[in-house]
Structures are given as C-alpha cells and as structure tokens.
C-alpha cells in the first residue's frame, strides 16, 4: 500500500521540539493535524513591514520590506528541526500520492476527505469580505519585478508579459481612498465583522502551467497586526492561505495543467534556515546562486525537509486539497535559486516541480 510504504520511511521517528513559540511533538506514524498545515509566508515580526497599504504597495516598484536581505551565514536548521521537517515532508508526499479519502485519514482527527470545502469563487471571497484585483504594476518577469526570466527560460516557459497575469486578494479594501484597514468592517446577515488585512498575491502563466506565490498572509496572522488586534470571533471561516491562492487560481487558470509552483523571495525565517542547510548538503562550499541554482530530488532527504517547511507545506496543501481538479499531483523535485532583481539583494526562492 502506498501509504504504508511512505510511512515506513521514518517509522518510529518521534521528535520533540521546544521553542519559545510552542512545544510540538510529531510522530511520523501518527496522522497529521490539520492545524499543522496552516501556512503563512512570513513570521509575525515581519508583518508590520508588509502591511501593503497603498503607499507601500508593489505599485511603486519597491519591495515592501527594506530590511529584506539574504544572509548565507545566518542560522541553519538544527538536527532535531531537520528531522521534524523530513518527517512532515514525507507525510505530505504520502498525502499527495494517496487518494482523497486516504489523504484525509492522515489528518488528526481523521477526515473523510482531504478536499477543501471552498470551491465557489469569487462568491466565497465576496461573502467573507475579501476583495480581488488584477495587479498590473508588478507583473514583469524580468529584473524590474520578479527577476525570474532566466529560470523561466530554463524551464522552457514564456517570459513575455502578455503570457502572465497577476492577481491579489485582500481581506479588506486596500485601494486608494479606502478607510484604514483597522476601521473597516463587513456584514454577514446581522453580524458585523472586522477585516483582518489577510493578503495573497500570485502570478499565473496558464499556457505553461506556472504559479508563483508572491506573498501569502492568512487572517490568523494578519489579524494580530490590526490596531486593536482582530478578535478570534471575527476570523472569517475562509482563512487558509492555500484556499485564498486556490480561489485566485480557480478564477483565472481553471483547467490549466499545473507544472511548476514558485515560492518567490522567501521571507519565512524557518524556511530560510532550512534552505541554508539544504544548500550545504550538496557540499560545504555551496552558496545560493542564480538559476539553475541547486536541484533536490524527492529521493533526497533535503527535498523532503524543504517540502516540510512552511513554504513547502503551502505548496503541498494546495495540491492535497484539490485532487478533484489536479488529480494526485505531487512534488517530484525542489530547486533552490535566487532571482535576479534590479537594485536588490535577493532572497532564496524555491521551484516545486509538479507531476
């Protein structure tokens, strides 16, 4: 049985993690808790610099976080955390290769299916106070915006502006002249809710089957940056970052064959630490480089660890939740590279090959 084969990869591995944020115990022989799959592309301490107010939006062609710099000599994932990431990555791979019911059974508590209940877009966005728009000012693949033209050519994909569309979804109105996000509300029936400021931005090349995750911040994370913080009772039911990005994909690329998912310019500290360690598994002298960068096959423990990072979980969950549309799509390779962006020291980016 496929599930048993993959679960045997790290059978018996029990890891206890103690951090300032939380204590987490994971056994690879146990089901995966659905709460463990909530993913955001940033740590909380970065969110105040990523508030995406109109004056700080990508429309002005500046990156919203001026502190953003890749540090190749920064912290690397510890041995215990590395084992935890491999364990999680292996389980996610099993879920991707399993059918919807089997994948659902690996959650704790088990679910009948892994599929997301959010399939009706844009109606679900509108119901829960989200607004969407096309991002035309930041959608070039060359060095002025994304800086991934060399990577796209290497993948045999188009870099032409007309082959790409970029979209954003925001929990609240970020347009010029809109009230401050802290003051915005919306109604469902007679109930008034505050907006959280959740945000997701993606770039899509439907022809070549490429999706780029630019930024993803779920309501749980963004709500704490409001003043005052949005109470838990106001968190919308539509709250998973993977559901927000799926809604945009479904609206604008439905039916496309998904081949590659980019996690662009990673800002999550846990993922960056794992990337630093993964790079060194190929040799102590290796550093972050431009495309082709460094390739990690899923047979490598480093690829499983990268899949288990917050950015990898977001990619895996995007596939696991939507088997009806995508089939049993799975990640087969992970490539680490740095984009080539004008006047900027880039962060690491990941390319997940989808088969």
Q: What is the pLDDT along the chain (355 residues), one digit of tens a residue?
A: 433 334 333 333 333 333 333 222 233 333 455 444 443 433 322 222 222 222 223 333 334 443 456 778 889 999 999 999 999 999 999 999 999 999 999 988 899 999 999 999 999 999 999 999 999 999 999 999 999 999 999 999 999 999 999 999 999 999 999 999 999 999 999 999 999 999 999 999 999 999 999 999 999 999 999 999 999 999 999 999 999 999 999 999 999 999 999 999 999 999 999 999 999 999 988 999 999 999 999 999 999 999 999 999 999 999 999 999 999 999 999 999 999 999 888 899 999 999 9
Asked whether 300 and 321 are in contact (CB, 8 A), the reply is no
Angstrom distance (rounded) from CA 52 to CA 122: 22
Give the domain range for residue 316.
2-354
Terminal Cα distance for the chain, rounded: 20
> Number of helices and strands (H, E) in the chain?
11, 12
pTM of the model: 0.83
Q: What is the pLDDT of residues 59-102, one digit of tens each?
A: 333 344 434 567 788 899 999 999 999 999 999 999 999 999 99
What residues pair up with 160 in beta bridges, in sequence order? Answer: none
The whole-number pLDDT of residue 3 equals 38
The whole-number pLDDT of residue 343 equals 85
CA 97 from centre of chain: 20
The whole-number pLDDT of residue 169 equals 98
Closest-CA residue to 47 (of 276, 224, 269, 251): 224
Total number of domains constituting the chain: 1
Report how far apart, in Å, the C-alpha atoms of 78 and of each of 84, 247, 282, 341 are.
Answer: 10, 35, 17, 30
The whole-number pLDDT of residue 36 equals 44
Peptide bond into 122 cis (omega under 30): yes
The whole-number pLDDT of residue 344 equals 83
């Amino acid at each position: 049985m496929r599930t048993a084969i993959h679960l045997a990869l790290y059978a018996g591995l029990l890891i206890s993690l103690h951090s300032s944020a939380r204590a987490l115990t994971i056994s690879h022989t146990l089901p995966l808790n659905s709460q463990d799959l909530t993913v955001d592309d940033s740590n909380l301490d970065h969110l105040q610099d990523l508030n995406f107010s109109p004056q700080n939006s990508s429309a002005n062609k500046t990156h919203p976080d001026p502190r953003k710099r890749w540090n190749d000599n920064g912290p690397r994932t510890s041995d215990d955390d590395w084992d935890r990431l491999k364990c999680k990555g292996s389980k996610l791979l099993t879920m991707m290769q399993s059918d919807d019911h089997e994948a659902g059974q690996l959650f704790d508590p088990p679910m009948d299916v892994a599929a997301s209940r959010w399939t009706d877009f844009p109606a679900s966005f509108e119901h829960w106070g989200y607004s969407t728009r096309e991002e035309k000012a930041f959608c070039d693949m060359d060095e002025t915006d994304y800086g991934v033209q060399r990577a796209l050519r290497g993948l045999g994909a188009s870099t032409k502006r007309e082959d790409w569309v970029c979209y954003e979804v925001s929990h609240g109105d970020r347009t010029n002249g809109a009230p401050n996000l802290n003051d915005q509300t919306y109604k469902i029936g007679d109930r008034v809710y505050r907006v959280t400021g959740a945000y997701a931005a993606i770039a899509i090349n439907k022809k070549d089957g490429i999706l780029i995750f630019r930024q993803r911040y779920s309501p749980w994370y963004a709500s704490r940056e409001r003043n005052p913080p949005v109470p838990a009772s106001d968190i919308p039911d539509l709250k998973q970052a993977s559901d927000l990005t799926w809604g945009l994909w479904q609206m604008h690329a439905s039916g496309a064959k998904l081949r590659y998912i980019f996690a662009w310019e990673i800002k999550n500290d846990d993922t960056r630490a794992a990337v630093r360690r993964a790079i060194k598994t190929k040799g102590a002298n290796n550093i972050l480089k431009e495309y082709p960068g460094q390739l990690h096959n899923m047979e490598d423990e480093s690829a499983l660890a990268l899949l288990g990072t917050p950015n990898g979980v977001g990619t895996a969950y995007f596939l696991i939740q939507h088997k009806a549309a995508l089939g049993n799509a799975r990640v087969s390779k992970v490539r680490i590279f740095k984009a080539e962006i004008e006047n900027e020291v880039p962060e690491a980016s990941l390319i997940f090959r989808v088969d």
